Amino acid sequence: MSKQPNKYHFILISVFLIAAIIAIYWQVYSYDFVKYDDDYYVTNNDNIKSGFDWKNIRWAFTANYSHNWHPVTWISHMIDYQLFKNWAGGYHLTNVLFHIVNTILLFYILMRMTGVVWPSAFVAAAFALHPLHVESVAWIAERKDLLSTFFWLLTMWAYVRYVENQKLKWYLAAIVLFMLGLMSKPMLVTLPFVLLLLDYWPLQRKFSRWLVIEKIPFFICSFVSCVITYLVQRNTGAMAAVEIFKPAIRINNAIVAYVTYISKMFWPSRLAVLYPHPGDSLSATKVIICTSLLVLISVIFIYLGRRRRYFTVGWLWYLITLVPVIGLVQVGAQAMADRYTYMTLTGLFIIIAFGASEFIPKLRYRNFTLTILTVAALASLAFTSRQQLNYWKNSLALFRHTLDVTPNNPLILESYANHLFEKGRLNESIEQFDKLMKIKPDSAESHCNFGCALMWTGKPDLAIEQFKLAIKYKPGDALGYNNLAAVLYEQGRGKEAVDYFKQALKLKPDFTGARFMLGVTLSSLQRFDEAIESFNQVLKLEPKNLSVYENLGRAYESLGRADEAIKSYRKGLQIDPNNTNLRQLLDAALKKQEPAAGK
């Protein structure tokens, strides 16, 4: 059974752990949002930005945004936005704070359960400093990792208190905290199994049916979370990869991923924000070797676990907690992800920490040797984490590094090229788009951006080719038709442009940009009545669009309808009295009327 922790050791070690985390992450306040999907979660999410109120809380509990159901995570982002607005550093600091709290909670709970200080401290230190955990801390969108782990640990704490005194309030607290964890990230569905493992070690509870019965409410919560997650991911198309990757492919990748995570735990190099799925390219030899290693390790640890239970518990912790994200149910294009190790590696850390104290020979300098090895290991982890954190400063640094360590990575290459385009680095983006088209020629969005970059660098004919390819690969996307029409208009091919603008509007009737440019193109063809109709339709959706009032007035003037032109210019000036173009057009129109008034 558990012992009360030594509070002096706990305080001193906790201070060290906090200082170590701060030393690694102290610059994170100056980092930017990462345009992989931080904008999807925060900067481009109107529900997050519109305020912390009942309407948006209701949205958090009913939304399937981002292919998951995690309302508590959404609420945490809402609170952050109220505090920090678009300052990315604030969100990063919140993540670091959660990482600190999770580290101290893990240390406290292990120390309380085992009554052993230094192995518990090592587990917490490895958790705090490991480079595989940088992704969860540095990536704002991965708040769900930190928040769900926070509730995971609180659930364990409440459960340990319940085991100690058998009071109902702690049992109910554990269930409530577990539910909050599931609403932060559904990966916690395996926690009931972990609680059973804790019963075996270190809580040393005598096995009985009651141990299983008391977990039934937890398993029910897990089942409900699985059902909700399945429905959300099915409805949003996130599980399309299940059809792409056949069962044999997914099983092979899962086996290799289990071994790869272990190798990266010991040698955390070439870490990436996305490891592309190998598909059916994994060799049978590699799969057989990895399978053999997993079987061998399982046999060894279960054998050793007969006398030292932490071997069995730590190994099963690792295997079981990875099941939801190991790829047996494939969601997304990744083979594996660093963020999936945030809590799962704790099982292996337990084996290392508690095993080392027993299996290193009891030599004369045993304690000194253990201390040196521990300090060296933790120092190397901290140094590597600091280096890995540098790649998370901004999107360009992250994408560039990922492409360096995973060259055949079309999804990240696409993100890198698009981001260069958005930053106005057109020649560089063209170079990257050219590489992308050779390995992923079917991305409509990239063809569109590639075309825009070519158009803005004076290559309209090549741009037209890209826009036509965008339409080919995504014929239902209005943007491709709009962009093609725009470049045709710039080339003086107005009649062709009109047809493509109309096709864009057929697909997306509220596409005001296309409707405005249709009006401009019709005016250039002297089809002023049609142009006026198009401009008026834009004003129904955007009544404060000054460019529309300007072009509408010009169209009226071309038809000799001076009064309506003057009225249009004046409406625009009511919105912006300082608009120079509208003021000049109005003055010119009024002067034209003066001779007629004199007669």
Residue-wise pLDDT for 518-531, tens only, equals 999 999 999 999 99
Tell me the Cα Rg of the chain: 30
CATH of the domain at 519: 1.25.40.10
Close Cβ partners of 239 (under 8 Å, ≥ 6 residues apart): 230, 233, 329, 330, 331
Report how far residue 338's alpha carbon sits from residue 264's, in angstroms, rounded to the nearest whole number: 9
pTM of the predicted structure, to 2 decimals: 0.89
Report how far residue 305's alpha carbon sits from residue 302's, in angstroms, rounded to the nearest whole number: 5
If asked whether residues 386 and 523 sit together in one domain, one would say no
If asked whether residues 220 and 364 sit together in one domain, one would say yes
Contact in structure between 115 and 2 (CB atoms under 8 Å)? yes
Q: Give pLDDT, residue 439.
A: 87
Within-domain flag for 339: yes
Residue-wise pLDDT for 266-319, tens only, equals 999 999 999 999 999 999 999 999 999 999 999 999 999 999 999 999 999 999
Using 50, 70 and 90 to split pLDDT, how confident is the model at 1?
very low
If asked whether residues 391 and 538 sit together in one domain, one would say no
Helix, strand, or coil here: 336?
strand
pLDDT at 13 over 80: yes
If asked whether residues 527 and 385 sit together in one domain, one would say no
Residue 276: domain span: 7-395
* Mean predicted confidence (pLDDT) in 224-243: 74
CA distances, 506 to each of 62, 234, 465, 473, 483 (Å): 31, 29, 22, 18, 15
Residue-wise pLDDT for 39-91, tens only, equals 778 888 888 988 888 899 999 998 877 678 899 999 999 999 999 999 999 99
Count how many domains the chain has.
2
Report how far residue 429's alpha carbon sits from residue 422's, in angstroms, rounded to the nearest whole number: 9
Positive or negative CA dihedral for 285, 334, 453, 494? positive
Question: Which of 20-29, 330-339, 361-370 shows the lowest per-residue confidence on average (mean pLDDT)?
Answer: 361-370
If asked whether residues 391 and 515 sit together in one domain, one would say no
Nearest C-alpha neighbor of 222 from the set 249, 183, 253, 164: 183
If asked whether residues 21 and 157 sit together in one domain, one would say yes
Place of tokens 């958790």: 127
Last residue of a domain, one of 372, 395, 418: 395
Q: Give pLDDT, residue 64.
A: 75
Last residue of a domain, one of 395, 411, 434: 395
- DSSP class of residue 545? -
Within-domain flag for 470: no
Residue-wise pLDDT for 316-363, tens only, equals 999 999 999 998 887 778 899 999 999 999 999 999 999 987 777 666
Using 50, 70 and 90 to split pLDDT, how confident is the model at 2?
very low
Nearest C-alpha neighbor of 413 from the set 239, 270, 245, 272: 272
Indicate the average pLDDT of the chain. Answer: 92
Tokens of 319: 């295997």
Within-domain flag for 267: yes
Report how far residue 94's alpha carbon sits from residue 42's, in angstroms, rounded to the nearest whole number: 14
Count the alpha carbons within 13 Å of 356 in the hemisphere toward its beta carbon.
Answer: 19
Count the alpha carbons within 13 Å of 213 in the hemisphere toward its beta carbon.
Answer: 4
Within-domain flag for 562: yes
pLDDT at 598 over 70: no
